[in-house]
Structure 1
Amino acid sequence: MVPAGSCGSTASRGRSGASGIGLSPQAQLRSADGAGLTVRVSPCRYGADVDVNHHLTPDAQPPFSRRLTSLVVCPLYISAAYHNLQCFKLLLQAGANPDFNCNGPVNTQGFYRGSPGCVMDAVLRHGCEAAFVSLLVEFGANLNLVKWESLGPESRGRRKVDPEALQVFKEARSVPRSLLNLCRVAVRRALGKYRLHLIPSLPLPDPIKKFLLYE
């Protein structure tokens, strides 16, 4: 899945092979050909899964599920690689896991040597602007997963980090997060991503509902 262009109704880049017509919500989110993609807003709003399902079969359960060993199949990673902030935010609002964007187990030890170890790591490596980092912080990403000090000089030299983004990351990791933000993350996780689209129907004041929806 390669998010690019506008997410307003259909985002595409390169060839226009993936139209998403007749596909399930999940398929519409993931449908793509070699260089094109369809990402639709409606599936996200109605509870489609925005995390990668890495099970061998749809019904497979641990220990029969495969472990994620690369972020390159993850929608958040790809939208960051294309610097598509609109799609990146849409996926997070819809409940995408801000650390690995994956359902099921993750095997970070199996990641390719020198490859990003989490979504935040990928955002920084790809030189994304500070807004990407801020979004991950707001949506509760684990900042301790970024282990740059363990990389060799060669790996560090290949990075094209945005200075402002790096500064935002360092500041976020050096100070405790606000109780307000932690509460929002906790409430959203308690609801679960499949129920986030029901927040507008909760018997709560509109400002609180918008706060929970990051609107």
Structure 2
Amino acid sequence: MVLGRAVNMSLMDISKIFSLLQPKEEEGDSEQCQALNNAVSSNDVTLLSELLSQESHRRCINACSGWGVPVTPLRTAAALGHLRCLELLLEHGAEIDCLDVKAQTPLFTAVSGKHLDCVVALLKAGADPNGSEYNNCSPLLTAAREGDADVLRELLRFGAQVDVRPKVPEWASSGTACRGPLYISAIYGHIDCFKLLLLHGANPNYNCTDEKMLARIKQPKTVLEVCLRYGCGVEYIQLLIDFGADVYLPTLIIDKTTKQNEALALLLKERVCPKTLMSQTRLVIRRHVSFTDKEPAIDSLDIPQILRNYLKHDTTKFM
């Protein structure tokens, strides 16, 4: 039964790939399609503008061309970081969330290439910050893995989902942890991204709010457990505690072989020492600020600046 479902899914995926490869009748002459891509590849804005002034070339704006894997001009501009070409294509109606054969959108390729200006331009033009539903990865996961806090901040500002969203069938969920952005940023040691995700509401326990997914995982591991297992520094544990992680959830096996490091000691101390009233108040207020980007909402509160800084976990200004 499971094998049958796996085969069906594979056939669906293959069909999707081949449908993306098939040229469409309205794509026009292949030479004109290639001319657009060549202009973008060489970052020749003048030539691209001239080509797009012609109806025959404008008809090919969403056509795929090129050696190997065919791609659209917009995808090429995003991958190479050619901002002005990208903006010009968008101005002439390029399809913003077009997919390549890997089900990657232009935004995804811009994030992968760390082209911040192109990422911002695409998001402002209406690109889906979550990428494609056909791709198991996402722009946010990619930015978290690469430790690109600036790109991550823009994705979150434009509404990217901060917690993991499963894109695999039930039979394929065999892991012990929800490998969401928070998990990934911890494993790769990107503390700035880790804190940024928490500031935008990432779940500090499982980095997942999908109860069905959690139910499918046998003995799911919390982010705290993952941080301890991979030797993340004490600053990761402190952030999770500050953002309300349940310190009693992790299963800790402590014996003679367990390294009593500072991070573990902090967690054990937190289990016996209650949170301060200020810390508990901050958690409650942040939970009641419903916006994904909480900073503007907190800044609008009629309270002293020192308290606004505290609510935003800005300890550098809390003096």
Q: CA 1:110–1:103 in 2, change beyond 3 Å: closer, same or farther?
A: closer
Give the number of the structure whose alpha-carbon radius of gyration is greater: 2
Say whether residues 1:204 and 2:315 are aligned partners: no
Match of 1:117 among 213, 221, 237: 221
In 2, Cα distance between equivalents of 1:144 and 1:73? 21
Match of 2:190 among 76, 84, 100: 84
Task: State, as a whole percentage, how many aligned pairs show the same letter.
Answer: 31
Q: Equivalent residue for 2:270?
A: 172
How many residues matched? 183
Say whether residues 1:74 and 2:74 are aligned partners: no
- Offset at residue 85 of structure 1 (A): 1.2
Q: Equivalent residue for 2:15?
A: none
Give TM-score scaled by structure 1 length. Answer: 0.69
Q: Where in structure 2 are the equivalents of 1:6-155 lying within 5 Å? A: 18-19=112-113, 21=119, 22=122, 23-27=127-131, 28-31=139-142, 39-45=151-157, 47-54=159-166, 70-105=176-211, 108=214, 110-111=216-217, 117-149=221-253
* Larger fraction in helix: 2
1:48-86 Cα offsets, whole Å, 9 max, x none, are: 331112378xxxxxxxxx999643521111111112211
In 1, Cα distance between equivalents of 2:280 and 2:174? 27
In 1, Cα distance between equivalents of 2:212 and 2:282? 25
Does the residue aligned with 1:199 lie in a helix, a strand or coil? helix
In structure 1, stretches of 5+ residues that fail to align are 1-15, 57-65
Q: Which structure would you say has the larger RCO, counting Cα contacts within 8 Å and 6 or more residues apart?
A: 1
1:183-206 Cα offsets, whole Å, 9 max, x none, are: 111111122352514322333322
Q: CA 1:72–1:103 in 2, change beyond 3 Å: closer, same or farther?
A: closer
In 1, Cα distance between equivalents of 2:192 and 2:146? 17
Q: Equivalent residue for 1:213?
A: 312
CA contact under 8 A between 1:99 and 1:119: conserved in structure 2?
yes
1:120-160 Cα offsets, whole Å, 9 max, x none, are: 111111111111111111000001111124x9x8xx96x7x
**Corresponding letter in the other structure for 2:301:** L
In 2, Cα distance between equivalents of 1:46 and 1:209? 23
Does the residue aligned with 1:145 lie in a helix, a strand or coil? coil
**Corresponding letter in the other structure for 1:147:** T
In 2, Cα distance between equivalents of 1:201 and 1:48? 23
In structure 2, stretches of 5+ residues that fail to align are 1-109, 132-138, 315-319
**Corresponding letter in the other structure for 2:164:** V
CA contact under 8 A between 2:224 and 2:250: conserved in structure 1?
yes
In 2, Cα distance between equivalents of 1:141 and 1:211? 18
Quote the RMSD (CA, aligned, Å): 3.5
CA contact under 8 A between 1:17 and 1:36: conserved in structure 2?
no
